[in-house]
Amino acid sequence: MIRPLVAVLVAAVSFGVANGYTVDAEIPAGNIVVKSIEGDVVKLKQDFRDTPGHWIYWAFRVRGAAGRTLTFDFGDSAAVGSRGAAVSEDHGGHWRWSDFERDDPRDPVTGDHASYTTFTWKFGPDDNEVWFSQTFPYSQSDWEAFLAAHAADYGRVFVTNTLCLSKKGRPVEAGRFGRIDGKAKYRMFVTSRHHCAETTATFVMEGLLSAVFGDDELGRWMRENIEIRAVPFVDKDGVVDGDQGKNRRPYDHCRDYNDDKPSIHPEIKAIREMLEKWAKESGTPSVVMDLHCPWLRGSWLKKDDSNEYIYAVGIKDVEPQQRRICEILERVQESGSGFLASDYYAEGRGWNTGANYKAGSTLTQWAIRTWPDAPLVVCFEIPFANARRMTLMPPTFRLFGRDIALALKAYLEP
């Protein structure tokens, strides 16, 4: 009887057990390495997996800490965003930012969570299991809930299909929305999660796609005029497994659109084939849009520090069209996310230089090379937690997606 008990204790310690509470990554898209637990201080870091160097994603749960106040300390590994941690007390059903309920120190000028590496949480007397994450999760179940809410329109306003199987054999979701009878005047392709941990981009995509169901002028126009093909989880395995996804060895999904070699990720190979076939059948795509998130956080007060506002990533060859969609978006936006056309991150500015694309080229760069006459090719970066002083949460991300739809209508039919 003694031997199995010893084995259980050894296994448990490796997941971080002390003082009666446990810390582990056994949640959807879980990701954490527990270094030590001493009293009420948990020392941990992100599980980088096949990402060389540092990246920012983590998600874990704490069980058995009811009534305690714990400090989570990532040491020298930047991990905590501008509004603290995303917290769920109902197994991922609802999430909120920890800073609304904690008095962790704030930056006196920006109001951001001051520490890049620590946050605290006070567990209520009945909080026996609490989940924490760097960002608001958006996973397959969220996508399925979105589709289920519109099930009555299936076959009429949207259909779903499988783009391909991932490397690990998982079906990669795809869908067609809007005018799906093949007679659409405009054809759009939109993606998120080329970098799997960039969850807030998928809330924006959902908001954009939701617009096709609207009983309003925008919804009617979209159902009459545009077919949108969407791939919400390009790096499907990373989304499910909770990988960083960024800078994967030898290169990640976002750098896999190269003319001189075949794509190494099955999703990218399938996207290229699908788009080329669609263009052959129906003509040049009207819009190709890729949605991303920037780095963890920053300061909008500093020159070229772009991590805390929504912006388009500039490509010089199509700068006029990209600036035009940004100007329209600033004018028509209703979400309150404070989008500014002047935040356009022109090629050559800050990090947006050739050095950033040495590993390979992106969906938007490939689309411009393949269809130089496409009316609009653009990538937006969606921050994790705020746009300047405004806190961002899923309802606002979705509304910004609708802002994009409003802007597209005005762009395509001025």
Task: Using the structure block, give the residue that is written with the tokens 């809330």.
Answer: 203
Q: What is the 3-state secondary structure (H, E, C) of 329-341?
A: HHHHCCCCCCCCH
Q: Are strands 390-391 and 386-387 parallel, antiparallel or unpaired?
A: antiparallel
Distances (CA, A) of 221 to 208, 225, 233, 328, 406: 14, 6, 27, 17, 10
Q: Residue 150 or 349: which CB sits closer to Zn ion?
A: 349
CB of 382 to Zn ion, least distance (A): 10
Q: Which stretch binds Zn ion (CB under 5 A): 6-14, 191-199, 219-227, 369-377?
A: 191-199
CB of 292 to Zn ion, least distance (A): 3
Among candidate residues 199, 172, 191, 221, the one with its CA nearest the CA of residue 378? 191
CB of 330 to Zn ion, least distance (A): 23
3-class DSSP state of 257: coil
Among candidate residues 347, 294, 339, the one with its CA nearest the CA of residue 320? 347
Q: Residue 206 or 235: which CB sits closer to Zn ion?
A: 235
Sign of the CA dihedral 235, 236, 239, 240? negative
Q: Residue 110 or 244: which CB sits closer to Zn ion?
A: 244
CB of 368 to Zn ion, least distance (A): 18
CB of 325 to Zn ion, least distance (A): 19
Q: Which stretch binds Zn ion (CB under 5 A): 69-77, 219-227, 292-300, 325-333?
A: 292-300
Q: Which stretch binds Zn ion (CB under 5 A): 24-32, 89-97, 136-144, 287-295?
A: 287-295
Q: Residue 229 or 292: which CB sits closer to Zn ion?
A: 292
CB of 392 to Zn ion, least distance (A): 17
Binding residue for Zn ion, selected from 83, 265, 292, 324, defined by CB under 5 A: 292
What angle do helix axes 363-370 and 266-282 make, rounded to 10 degrees?
30
Q: Residue 113 or 195: which CB sits closer to Zn ion?
A: 195
Q: Which stretch binds Zn ion (CB under 5 A): 39-47, 189-197, 212-220, 383-391?
A: 189-197
Contact 343, 309 (CB under 8 A): yes
Establish if 253 lies at the interface with Zn ion (CB under 5 A).
no
Q: Residue 198 or 206: which CB sits closer to Zn ion?
A: 198
Establish if 195 lies at the interface with Zn ion (CB under 5 A).
yes
Q: Which stretch binds Zn ion (CB under 5 A): 99-107, 187-195, 360-368, 397-405?
A: 187-195
The token pair that represents 349 in the structure block: 């500015």
Q: Which stretch binds Zn ion (CB under 5 A): 100-108, 217-225, 255-263, 285-293?
A: 285-293
Angle at 327 between CA 322 and CA 328, to 5 degrees: 100
Spatial distance between the Cα atoms of 339 and 401, rounded to a whole number of angstroms = 12
What is the total count of residues that contact Zn ion (CB under 5 A)? 3
Establish if 402 lies at the interface with Zn ion (CB under 5 A).
no
Spatial distance between the Cα atoms of 397 and 207, rounded to a whole number of angstroms = 7
Q: Interface with Zn ion by CB under 5 A: which residues?
A: 195, 198, 292
